[in-house]
């Protein structure tokens, strides 16, 4: 017998269950839409670290779309987190191929290069070529299918060093400033920038020691230049009376699409100028007239005659994400209209960080020209004196599968610096020094004085004759015992004084001899403490010899800290006391006779 009441109860229960399911379904949708709105807002404000977390939470809740994968991949890509970026670009390409912008094939290929996967990167570049055959990057790729072999040819040309002074955050963008080096760093305690959760960049100044290719005595530079915003990439005139540098605009709410390191996007960037007055004070920096709140102008470089200023910009009418421009500086310090350097140099990608060397070579970084991954450094030799020119990849070791940029070089010494976020670094971006090894070998084969005059010391008693040459270490020639200092101290102990007296006697008997005192420590303290300690010890050693009667002009002193270890005993490596002692040493290098 049909039970009407039971049937009604079943219907009510069914409706109730449907209502509960619908409620939870609507709640989930509402929650996802709320999170999506939050993520997109963070993304639009370039708060990429925050956006990453929110997009990942959305995906964990089951929401998927081409837009979410694209933006999540971009938050990693713009912060040079290429491994993570490749994961989400792969999902994007595999699941949403039909609605995909071809640009993401290019970005995915770039991330694969950064991981060393050149085989798959080339496959996706072939897809990009098919979809955008007229793109300059596609044309360059077709013409340079053997790019890996070409870049290998220059692998051994440069010897590079990760500087001991690099911090755990961002250090980049070196500039020659007399005997000093200016660079930018987020090592300070400024406000935190939401792009990458680091402090805003400031200028720092350091002393440069060419023999070790290291930077020392790091100090914050000129409060007149460091604001509460980003500063970077300066260039000085030869007389050091004028400086041009990059600073972002002073409106934190105004977000945009170009970047301070050539790869991260932040507020609009502008080039500022300051001059030195008669009292040795820098004027208040003023923005150049072709700056704009609608686009960025950054990374200035001067021509040899200082009548032209090169820079990078994403101004309207350009070719790619950022292009290199040049503007004429008139005699009355006004500026002509900036000119784009054209399609041979600029691509649909990013060209940035120009630098003109004293030999009139243009160096710049690009992710549009064919390279090893990320930004690569390229060079055009003798740019302004050529109607036609070739663009050459600087090859390994200057370039890597990551971003390599802000290259500067002294053409006389063939030494210089560049910045990179490669895996061997200490921070997000590190500064590397380099030297052209082929140049140094030529110098060894062709010295200025091919027959250096030996210094001969004849001992009073019938001992063998000691011959000393320029470049010799008196510590080895005179068989000095180790110059010991008490722990954390820099005063001269009696046993050390006995050894230093031998150096004094040698210099007395050879009155034209000049030396450089080089003090080294082991690695058992933080690097900057060791650097300071070794400098104090070197100065104490120099002062001892001066007090004995040696002319101060005949002695230079420098502390190298732990930067030139003789063995494997670096930070965190267990070593015996004897092994550490090998690194605690003093050298007395003959630099003139």
Q: Which tens digit of pLDDT belongs to each residue from 324-340?
A: 999 999 999 999 999 99
Other beta carbons within 10 Å of 326: 20
Q: How confident is residue 29, by pLDDT bands cut at 50, 70 and 90?
A: low
φ, ψ for residue 7, nearest 5 deg: -65, -40
Mean pLDDT of 289-296: 93
Mean pLDDT of 238-266: 65
User: Do residues 68 and 54 make contact, with C-beta atoms less than 8 angstroms apart?
Assistant: no
538 Cβ partners below 8 Å, 6+ apart? Answer: 517, 518, 519, 557, 558, 559, 586
158 Cβ partners below 8 Å, 6+ apart? Answer: 394, 397, 398, 434, 435, 436, 437
Q: How confident is residue 20, by pLDDT bands cut at 50, 70 and 90?
A: low
Token readout for 334 is 């006004």
Mean pLDDT of 268-275: 94
- Greater confidence (283 vs 562) lies with 283
474 Cβ partners below 8 Å, 6+ apart? Answer: 468, 480, 503, 506, 515, 588, 589, 590
pLDDT at 392: 92
pLDDT over 90 at 142, yes or no: yes
Domains of the chain: 33-133 (1.25.40.10), 156-443 (2.120.10.30), 447-592 (3.30.1330.60)
Q: Which tens digit of pLDDT belongs to each residue from 520-561?
A: 888 888 777 788 888 888 898 998 999 889 998 999 988 888
User: Do residues 444 and 436 make contact, with C-beta atoms less than 8 angstroms apart?
Assistant: no
pLDDT over 70 at 121, yes or no: yes
pLDDT at 15: 60
Token readout for 189 is 């305690």
Of residues 580, 387, 422, 584, the one with CA closest to residue 490: 584
User: Do residues 68 and 58 make contact, with C-beta atoms less than 8 angstroms apart?
Assistant: yes
Of residues 81, 193, 175, 256, the one with CA closest to residue 419: 175
pLDDT at 453: 47
Q: Which tens digit of pLDDT belongs to each residue from 506-524?
A: 999 898 999 999 998 888 8
Element (H, E) at 127: helix 118-131
pLDDT at 264: 41
Of 150-159, 311-320, 450-459, highest mean pLDDT? 311-320
What's the start-to-end Cα distance of the chain, in Å? 123
Of 164-168, 278-282, 546-550, highest mean pLDDT? 546-550
Mean pLDDT of 140-166: 82
Work out the percent of the chain whose per-residue pLDDT is above 70. Answer: 83
pLDDT at 416: 95
Mean pLDDT of the chain: 84
Helices (H) and strands (E) in the chain, counts: 13, 27
350 Cβ partners below 8 Å, 6+ apart? Answer: 262, 263, 320, 321, 322, 365, 366, 367, 368, 375
φ, ψ for residue 472, nearest 5 deg: -70, 155
Q: Own/partner pairs for 86-90, CB < 8 Å, 24+ apart?
A: 86/111, 86/112, 86/114, 86/115
Q: Which tens digit of pLDDT belongs to each residue from 54-70?
A: 999 999 988 889 999 99
pLDDT at 584: 83
Mean pLDDT of 191-197: 55
Of residues 334, 226, 229, 240, the one with CA closest to residue 288: 334
- Greater confidence (30 vs 216) lies with 216
Longest Cα pair distance anywhere in the chain, in angstroms?
Answer: 134
Note the pTM of the prediction, 2 decimals: 0.68
Token readout for 97 is 């191929």
Q: Which tens digit of pLDDT belongs to each residue from 435-494?
A: 988 765 555 555 544 444 444 444 444 444 566 788 888 988 888 888 877 666 777 888
Q: How confident is residue 250, by pLDDT bands cut at 50, 70 and 90?
A: low
pLDDT over 60 at 7, yes or no: no
pLDDT at 263: 45
- Greater confidence (100 vs 446) lies with 100
pLDDT at 254: 42
Beta bridge partners of 404: 420
CB burial readout 91-114, b (16+ within 10 A) else e: bbbeebeeebeebbbbbbbbbbbb
pLDDT at 456: 45
Mean pLDDT of 139-163: 82
* DSSP letters for 254-297: ---SB-SSSSS-BS-EEEEEEEB-TTS-BPPPEE-TT--SSS-E
Of residues 289, 239, 232, the one with CA closest to residue 266: 232
Measured CA angle at 181 (ends 586, 201), to 5 deg: 120
Beta-carbon-side half-sphere exposure of residue 342 (alpha carbons within 13 Å): 4
């Amino acid at each position: 017998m049909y039970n009407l009441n039971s049937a009604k109860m079943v219907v009510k229960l069914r409706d109730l269950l449907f209502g509960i399911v619908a409620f939870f379904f609507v709640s989930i949708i509402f929650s996802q839409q709320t999170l999506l709105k939050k993520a997109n807002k963070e993304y639009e404000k370039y708060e990429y670290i925050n956006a990453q977390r929110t997009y990942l939470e959305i995906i964990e809740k089951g929401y998927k779309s081409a837009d979410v994968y694209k933006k999540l991949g971009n938050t990693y890509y713009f912060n040079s987190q290429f491994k993570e970026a490749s994961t989400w670009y792969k999902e994007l390409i595999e699941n949403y191929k039909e609605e995909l912008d071809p640009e993401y094939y290019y970005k995915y290929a770039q991330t694969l290069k950064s991981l060393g996967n050149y085989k798959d990167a080339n496959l996706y570049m072939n897809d990009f070529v098919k979809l955008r055959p007229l793109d300059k990057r596609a044309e360059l790729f077709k013409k340079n299918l053997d790019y890996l072999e070409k870049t290998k040819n220059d692998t051994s040309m440069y010897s590079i060093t990760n500087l001991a002074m690099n911090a755990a955050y961002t250090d980049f963008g070196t500039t020659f400033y007399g005997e000093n080096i200016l660079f930018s760093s987020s090592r300070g305690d400024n406000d935190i920038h939401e792009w990458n959760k680091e402090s805003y960049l400031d200028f720092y100044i350091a002393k440069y020691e060419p023999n070790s290719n290291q930077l020392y005595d790091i100090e914050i530079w000129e409060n007149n230049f460091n604001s509460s915003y980003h500063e970077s990439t300066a260039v000085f005139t030869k007389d050091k009376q004028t400086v041009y540098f990059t600073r972002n605009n002073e409106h934190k709410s105004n977000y945009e699409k170009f970047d301070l390191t050539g790869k991260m996007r932040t507020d609009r960037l502008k080039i500022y100028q300051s001059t030195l007055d008669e009292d040795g004070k820098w004027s208040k920096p003023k923005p150049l007239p072709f700056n704009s709140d609608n686009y960025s102008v950054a990374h200035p470089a001067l021509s040899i005659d200082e009548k032209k200023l090169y820079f990078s910009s994403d101004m309207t009418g350009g070719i790619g994400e950022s292009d290199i421009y040049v503007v004429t500086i008139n005699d009355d310090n006004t500026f002509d209209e900036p000119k784009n350097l054209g399609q041979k140099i600029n691509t649909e990608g990013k060209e940035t960080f120009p630098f003109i060397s004293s030999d009139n070579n243009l160096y710049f970084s690009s992710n549009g020209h064919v390279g090893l991954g990320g930004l690569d450094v390229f060079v055009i030799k003798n740019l302004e004196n050529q109607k036609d020119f070739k663009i050459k990849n600087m090859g390994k070791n200057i370039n890597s599968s990551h971003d390599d940029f802000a290259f500067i070089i002294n053409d006389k010494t063939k030494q210089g610096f560049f910045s990179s976020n490669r895996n061997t670094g200490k921070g997000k971006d590190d500064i590397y020094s380099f030297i052209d090894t082929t140049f140094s070998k030529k110098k060894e084969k062709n010295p200025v004085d091919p027959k250096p005059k030996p210094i001969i010391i004849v001992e009073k008693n019938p001992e063998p004759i000691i011959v000393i040459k320029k470049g010799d270490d008196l510590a080895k020639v005179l068989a000095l015992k180790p110059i010991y200092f008490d722990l954390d101290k820099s005063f001269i102990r009696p046993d050390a004084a006995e050894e230093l007296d031998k150096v004094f006697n040698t210099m007395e008997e050879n009155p034209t001899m000049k030396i450089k005192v080089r003090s080294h420590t082991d690695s058992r303290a933080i690097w900057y403490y060791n650097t300071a300690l070794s400098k104090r010890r070197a100065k104490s050693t120099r002062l001892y010899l001066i007090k004995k009667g040696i002319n101060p002009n005949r002695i230079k002193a420098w502390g190298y800290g732990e930067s030139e270890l003789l063995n494997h005993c670096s930070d965190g490596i267990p070593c015996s006391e004897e092994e550490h002692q090998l690194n605690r040493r003093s050298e007395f290098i003959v630099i003139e006779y």
